[in-house]
């Protein structure tokens, strides 16, 4: 049975970057079709996933939603793949697009999209917007069978979740991941773990991941085997 997994988290918690890597681990682990979807229009994901590609070579989630009805064939045309992972697809908005580029979708249309995606792939990993009022992400959260929420060991992240711990995230499987993004800085990891109470995993600082994010090579495998091992454990907990 196909599964929708929602990635949520506070702003700048590393949920998009780690969500991509988690989706890649699920692909390697299951050998099934996987789609990584990001509906963020503040920072369109295609802009930093494929910064070296021509705009004409990329597709947009907005093009799939910009129809009266959503069909499987049209969604398939909008999914971007790489040669090394032909059963793994990326779906999101392109650089230059914003909330005014396309008509605002309805909830019914977003549900149609989710239904079609779950017909195409066994696993859909949805990187949800930190803005809990954004419609596409709100529907993805409420329709997901598993939720992974990313937090950082700082007061800012704690304050975000104090105001935005959405009841829609109370899925059958929900786990919290603490992401230590910084290096050589005091991080109150144990204190923040105690605050949240349900932290299952702590991801350490990863130099290779930061380099991929800066160089626009996130679609490539991560060379850090220890970090990948932790992501693999997270993947096993939600699939």
Structural domains in the chain, CATH included, are: 3-238 (3.40.50.300)
pLDDT of residue 67: 87
pLDDT at 69 over 80: yes
* 185 contacts: CB under 8 Å, gap ≥ 6: none
pLDDT of residue 132: 86
Q: What is the mean pLDDT of residues 136-149?
A: 94
**Residue 111 · residue 122 · CB < 8 Å:** no
pTM: 0.94
* 72 contacts: CB under 8 Å, gap ≥ 6: 116, 119, 120
User: Rounded to whole angstroms, how far apart are CA atoms 90 and 46?
Assistant: 8
57 pLDDT tier (thresholds 50, 70, 90):
confident
């Amino acid at each position: 049975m196909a599964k929708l997994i929602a990635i949520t988290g506070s702003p700048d918690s590393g949920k998009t970057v780690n969500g991509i890597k988690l989706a890649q681990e699920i692909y390697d682990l299951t050998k099934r079709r996987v789609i990584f979807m990001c509906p963020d229009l503040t920072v369109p994901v295609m802009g930093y996933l494929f910064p070296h590609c021509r705009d004409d070579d990329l597709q947009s989630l907005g093009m799939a939603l910009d129809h009266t009805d959503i069909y499987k064939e049209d969604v398939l045309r909008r999914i971007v793949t790489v040669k090394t992972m032909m059963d793994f697809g990326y779906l999101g908005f392109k650089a230059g697009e914003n909330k005014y580029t396309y008509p605002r979708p309805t909830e019914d249309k977003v549900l149609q999209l989710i239904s079609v995606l779950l017909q195409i792939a066994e696993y859909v990993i949805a990187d949800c917007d930190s803005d809990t009022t954004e419609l596409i992400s709100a529907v993805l959260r409420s329709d997901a069978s598993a939720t992974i929420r990313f937090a950082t060991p700082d007061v800012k992240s704690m304050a975000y979740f104090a105001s935005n711990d959405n009841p829609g995230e109370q899925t059958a499987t929900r786990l919290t991941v603490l992401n230590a993004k910084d290096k050589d800085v005091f991080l109150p990891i144990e204190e923040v773990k105690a605050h949240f109470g349900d932290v299952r995993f702590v991801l350490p600082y990863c130099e290779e991941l930061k380099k991929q994010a800066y160089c626009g090579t996130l679609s490539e495998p991560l060379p850090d085997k220890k970090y990948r091992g932790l992501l693999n454990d997270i993947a096993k907990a939600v699939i």
